[in-house]
């Protein structure tokens, strides 16, 4: 009995260490993505950007994420999860720091592409590593808790944006200071990862490294996994398309509705606080009821909240709908990261998760661009957010009709 208790304690410490190290990196990733939405609003003033140029900043980030998710997902199945985990964070942090010194939109866009590659590669690889390193009975909860670090990072980005970006006490523009603040700590997270063990499942299967990239890509579409792959690709596209279309534009939406830049940052900060309870409730439901339940309920809550937010005119309605939008959307994200690696066997898990994320990032390219184009064409925010509602409902239908429940199922 004592040996079993000691073993359980050891497993808990190992799990918590893995969650903490992976989560810290995830936190800094979120800080960068979160700060970007505020920086876009600041750059629009500083560099006199058009709506289309603002849209391209968000979209080029997603183009990089699509490339990174695909390439690094393949490499994770070939050379291991840990080394890709380190490389992606290094790619992200260096480019993020350099972007603080960009003087032209072109340079800024190139660096945002590199940052996107690091981000896009890290997130599916991180969730795959954690999924393979914890027992089935708590796998979903731990992956959702990993994703909850995203809310902390986004919250910190909102705080930095509120206090740093509009400030005139800096010798350089506030948005440049904000980018430096998000990049430097990420290097520390990379140092922590050097001491992180690789996935125990991957380490025990050396034959996985002998498979070719083409075999792994074809394996994702093998008959046994066709329905799962189709479901994930639809779901990822719908979720990422709507998320980046809505959240990267939140401060700008607030400004467009007549609020000042500083007031907009304050309201988005309040909305961001709702992300944490969204994650924590999803972490509980995902093991108690199941992945499909969380995805369906939280995505429908996202769609309804987004519609109300787009139509809102008063501060009260904006805040309430924005808080609910953050709560439901980020809870759904947590379930999505838990659900995705569970669809595939070990040898193609990184490839499958990376390809699904890459398809999602294509949606992330079009989301911000669509908002920029629709604003230029004269559409109001109510119509724009209605488009995102429809895309989310399509994702829900894919889960309902094509998805399988994977709660506490042992990974292949």
Encode pLDDT of 184-242 as tens digits.
Answer: 766 666 676 677 777 777 767 666 667 788 999 999 999 999 999 999 999 999 999 99
**pLDDT confidence band for 9 (50 / 70 / 90):** very low
In terms of residue numbers, what domain contains 312?
11-196+209-402
What is residue 370's predicted lDDT score, i.e. its pLDDT?
A: 86
Distances (CA, A) of 14 to 18, 105, 135, 193, 197: 6, 44, 12, 14, 10
CATH number, position 387: 1.20.1250.20
Of all residues in the chain, what percent carry a pLDDT higher than 70? 89
Task: Copy the structure tokens of residue 70.
Answer: 């695909």
Of all residues in the chain, what percent carry a pLDDT higher than 90? 31
3-state DSSP assignment of residue 199: coil
**Lowest mean per-residue pLDDT among 147-151, 270-274, 279-283:** 270-274
3-state DSSP assignment of residue 41: helix
What is residue 4's predicted lDDT score, i.e. its pLDDT?
A: 43
Q: How far apart are the first and last CA of the chain?
A: 30
Residues 335-347: what's their mean pLDDT? 92
What is residue 131's predicted lDDT score, i.e. its pLDDT?
A: 85
Judge residue 137's burial from the number of C-beta atoms within 10 Å of its C-beta, 0-12 exposed, 13-18 middle, 19 or more buried: exposed
Residues 53-76: what's their mean pLDDT? 87
Name residues whose C-beta falls within 8 Å of residue 344's C-beta, 6 or more positions apart in sequence.
220, 225, 228, 351, 352, 353, 412
* Residue 38 maps to a domain: yes
Q: Is the pLDDT of residue 379 over 70?
A: yes
Residues 163-174: what's their mean pLDDT? 76
* Separation between Cα atoms, residue 36 and residue 367, nearest integer Å: 15
List, for residues 385-412, the tens digit of each pLDDT value: 899 999 999 999 999 999 999 887 877 6
What is residue 261's predicted lDDT score, i.e. its pLDDT?
A: 58
Residues 267-288: what's their mean pLDDT? 85
What is residue 2's predicted lDDT score, i.e. its pLDDT?
A: 45
* Separation between Cα atoms, residue 226 and residue 219, nearest integer Å: 9
Burial 216-228 (b: 16+ CB within 10 A, else e): bbebbeeeebeeb
Answer whether 335's CB lies under 8 Å from 211's CB: no
* Residue 202 maps to a domain: no
Name residues whose C-beta falls within 8 Å of residue 134's C-beta, 6 or more positions apart in sequence.
15, 18, 142
Length of the chain: 412
* Residue 411 maps to a domain: no
Distances (CA, A) of 351 to 171, 270, 344: 45, 37, 9
Distances (CA, A) of 128 to 134, 210, 327, 410: 11, 19, 24, 14
The mean predicted confidence, pLDDT, of the chain is 84
Residue 69 CB neighbour total at 10 angstroms = 31
What is residue 11's predicted lDDT score, i.e. its pLDDT?
A: 54
* Residue 293 maps to a domain: yes
* Separation between Cα atoms, residue 159 and residue 181, nearest integer Å: 12
Domains held by the chain: number: 1
Q: Is the pLDDT of residue 302 over 90?
A: yes
What is residue 10's predicted lDDT score, i.e. its pLDDT?
A: 47
Name residues whose C-beta falls within 8 Å of residue 308's C-beta, 6 or more positions apart in sequence.
317, 321, 324
* Residue 351 maps to a domain: yes
**Lowest mean per-residue pLDDT among 127-131, 170-174, 260-264:** 260-264
What is residue 310's predicted lDDT score, i.e. its pLDDT?
A: 83
What is residue 6's predicted lDDT score, i.e. its pLDDT?
A: 43
Answer whether 411's CB lies under 8 Å from 348's CB: no
* Residue 178 maps to a domain: yes
* Residue 407 maps to a domain: no
Residues 116-127: what's their mean pLDDT? 87
* Residue 203 maps to a domain: no
What is residue 357's predicted lDDT score, i.e. its pLDDT?
A: 92
């Amino acid at each position: 009995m004592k040996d079993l208790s000691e073993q359980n304690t050891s497993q808990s410490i190992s799990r918590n260490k893995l969650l903490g190290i992976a989560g810290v990196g995830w936190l800094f990733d979120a800080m960068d993505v979160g700060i970007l939405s505020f920086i876009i609003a600041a750059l629009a003033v500083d560099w006199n950007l058009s709506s289309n140029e603002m849209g391209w900043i968000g979209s080029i980030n997603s183009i990089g994420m699509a490339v990174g998710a695909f390439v690094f997902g393949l490499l994770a199945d070939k050379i291991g999860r840990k080394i890709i985990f380190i490389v992606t964070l290094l790619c992200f942090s260096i480019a993020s720091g350099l972007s603080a010194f960009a003087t032209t939109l072109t340079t800024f866009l190139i660096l945002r592409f590199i940052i996107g590659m690091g981000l896009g590669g890290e997130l599916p690889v991180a969730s795959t590593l954690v999924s393979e390193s914890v027992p089935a009975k708590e796998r979903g909860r731990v992956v959702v808790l990993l994703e909850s670090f995203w809310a902390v990072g986004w919250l910190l980005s909102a705080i930095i944006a509120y206090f740093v970006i509009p400030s005139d006490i800096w010798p350089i523009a506030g948005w440049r200071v904000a980018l430096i603040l998000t990049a430097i700590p990420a290097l520390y997270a990379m140092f922590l990862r050097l001491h992180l063990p690789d996935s125990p499942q991957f380490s025990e299967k050396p034959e996985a490294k002998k498979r070719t990239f083409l075999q792994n890509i074809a394996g994702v579409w093998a008959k046994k996994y066709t329905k799962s792959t189709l479901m994930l690709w639809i779901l990822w596209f719908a979720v990422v398309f709507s998320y980046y279309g809505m959240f990267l534009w939140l401060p700008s939406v607030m400004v467009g509705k007549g609020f000042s830049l500083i007031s907009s940052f304050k309201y988005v900060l309040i909305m961001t606080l709702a992300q944490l309870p969204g994650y924590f409730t999803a972490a509980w439901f995902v093991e108690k009821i199941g992945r499909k339940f969380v995805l369906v309920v939280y995505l429908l809550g996202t769609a309804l909240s987004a519609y109300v937010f787009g139509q809102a005119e008063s501060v009260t309605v904006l805040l309430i709908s924005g808080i609910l939008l953050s709560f439901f959307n980020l809870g759904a994200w947590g379930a999505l990261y838990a659900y995705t690696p569970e669809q595939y066997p070990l040898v193609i898990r990184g490839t499958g998760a990376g390809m699904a994320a890459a398809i999602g990032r294509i949606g992330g390219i079009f989301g911000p661009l669509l908002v920029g184009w629709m604003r230029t064409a004269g559409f109001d925010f109510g119509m724009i957010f209605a488009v995102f509602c429809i895309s989310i409902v399509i994702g829900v239908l894919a889960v309902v009709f094509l998805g399988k429940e994977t709660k506490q199922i042992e990974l292949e």
